[in-house]
Amino acid sequence: MTQITLVIPAAGASRRMGDRDKLLEPVDGQPLLRGFAQRALAVSDDVIVTLPDPTSPRCAVLEGLPVTQIMVPDADDGMSASLRRAAEAVSSDAEGVMILPADMPDLTEDDLRHVIQAFTDASGEFLVQATGADGTPGHPVIFPTDLIAQFKTLSGDAGARSILRENRTRLIRVPLPHENALTDLDTPDAWTLWRANNPDR
């Protein structure tokens, strides 16, 4: 099986949530971040979670899970800070790195496996980006390891979009059901609407 490192960027401040932390919101009976980490561990034994600092409640909800916790003291620099730190921790055995935003509760274990299978089928030479059922680009994205060094040069909050743009000819897009690859919840209103549509979760 292809060895994929999953990176869950969880060092951001959730400023748009006011006094709530979106990654600690209860989903399926536990904090979103913990459930997401468990989903990641179901498809890979190499999971990296970036975090703001050791005293963060986000660290506490990961207790007992075999994930690698990477602290990002410069998290205010944006998503790129998490990716820079994570790149330094990627195992030399990894054949690809999946960036998996943690505020997307509709992504399933099967979705992750589907994206990994597409990467495997492409012999690990191509970037693979999940899309909505309508083809709208979304998450997660898998990067071949030959591109990981570029993570160390990223800046700002655009994440790895520049790497995607520069490697368009190596990009494969894989549709996932419904809006699983698109639904990210980073405001109270978004959470309220999602809960109204998902009363059992």
Asked if CATH classification 3.40.50.1460 holds for the domain at 4-197, the reply, yes or no, is: no
Residue pLDDT, tens place only, 111-139? 999 999 999 999 888 999 999 999 999 99
pTM for the model stands at 0.94
Q: What is residue 55's three-state secondary structure?
A: coil
Mean of all residue pLDDT scores within the chain? 94
> Which uninterrupted H or E stretch holds 186?
none
C-alpha to C-alpha distance for 148 and 144, rounded to whole angstroms: 7
Per residue in 1-51, pLDDT (tens digit) is 689 999 999 998 777 777 799 999 999 999 999 999 999 999 999 999 999
The span from the CA of 159 to the CA of 87, in Å, is 12
Which positions ≥6 away from 105 have C-beta within 8 Å?
Answer: 27, 32, 35, 36, 183, 185, 194, 198, 201
